[in-house]
Chains A and B, each alone.
Chain A
Amino acid sequence: SQKIEQNSEALNIQEGKTATLTCNYTNYSPAYLQWYRQDPGRGPVFLLLIRENEKEKRKERLKVTFDTTLKQSLFHITASQPADSATYLCALGRDFNKFYFGSGTKLNVKP
């Protein structure tokens, strides 16, 4: 079965720096990869989607890369702010009928 790995340790960075989160996967060939933000006790909120034929996607301060050879996606937040502190989840799927989630990485941005 598919395995999706995100760094379980929290990522602590200083405000203004770039945060980089990693999502690695095995035993799967996704056509789509999504990144979500989840705050404690809340449902995830969609951030970005990238397709298998896309190398990079940007949205404001966010950037996602997708390397199907390495089976890895990187999620970057530039000029990070304390309000960016949350857990970030990656999700993989072959179509929009079903996505599988990683366990998430908690990001702490310190002022």
Chain B
Amino acid sequence: GAVVSQHPSWVICKSGTSVKIECRSLDFQATTMFWYRQFPKQSLMLMATSNEGSKATYEQGVEKDKFLINHASLTLSTLTVTSAHPEDSSFYICSAPGGPPFSYNEQFFGPGTRLTVL
């Protein structure tokens, strides 16, 4: 199947700093990518939809100025957590619907990024 990578796989930062997480589709193009957050033993919560060439669409309750999304190319989306606080500590996962030659029926997930804010 298609491969989606994330970088870094884990990051520890101080409160007040900004952290950038990259999501790449390695063997297909993704005009749309999704960003999720997952707390321990909880479900994936959709944060936003990243659209190549246009602004991201944020879910209700997600601060767009805090979670900056940039879909720079057909294979790269970045999520920047600005002025991070301990409550932002979570597991962040991106996904992309399969593009050719893969089925669009399927979403491919990255391995996730564990963010810890001290």
A43 touching B104 by the CB < 8 A rule?
no
B43 CB–A CB distance under 8 Å: yes
Are B43 and A46 interface neighbours, CB within 8 A? no
Number of interface residues, chain A, beta carbon within 8 A: 22
Closest to B60 in A: A1
State whether B95 touches A96 (Cβ < 8 A): no
Chain B 1-30: CB-based contact to A (< 8 A → 1; otherwise 0):
100101000000000000000000000000
Give the secondary structure class of A's interface: strand
Task: Fill in one digit per residue for A29-58: 1 if any B CB lies within 8 Å of its CB, else 0.
Answer: 000101010000111111001000000000
Give complex CA distance A68, B93 in Å.
29
User: Is there contact, CB below 8 Å, between B107 and A89?
Assistant: no
* A43 in contact with B43 given A49-B106, A97-B32 (CB within 8 Å): no
B109 at interface (Cβ–Cβ under 8 A)? yes
Is the pair A41, B34 in contact by a Cβ cutoff of 8 Å? no
Near A by CB (< 8 A), chain B positions 26-62 give: 32, 34, 36, 41-46, 49
A103 and B112 form a contact (CB under 8 A): no
The answer to whether B114 and A43 have CB atoms under 8 Å apart is no
Whether B106 contacts A43 by the Cβ 8 Å rule is no
With most chain A CB atoms within 10 A of its CB, the pick from B4, B36, B43, B45 is B43
A-contacting residues of B (Cβ < 8 Å)? 1, 4, 6, 32, 34, 36, 41-46, 49, 91, 93, 95, 97, 104-112, 114
Q: Which residues of A contact B (CB under 8 A)?
A: 4, 32, 34, 36, 41-46, 49, 89, 91, 96-104
**15 more A-B residue pairs beyond the given contacts A43-B110, A44-B95, A96-B105, with a C-beta to C-beta distance below 8 A:** A4-B43, A34-B107, A42-B111, A43-B4, A43-B109, A44-B109, A46-B106, A46-B108, A46-B109, A49-B105, A97-B32, A97-B97, A99-B34, A101-B45, A101-B46
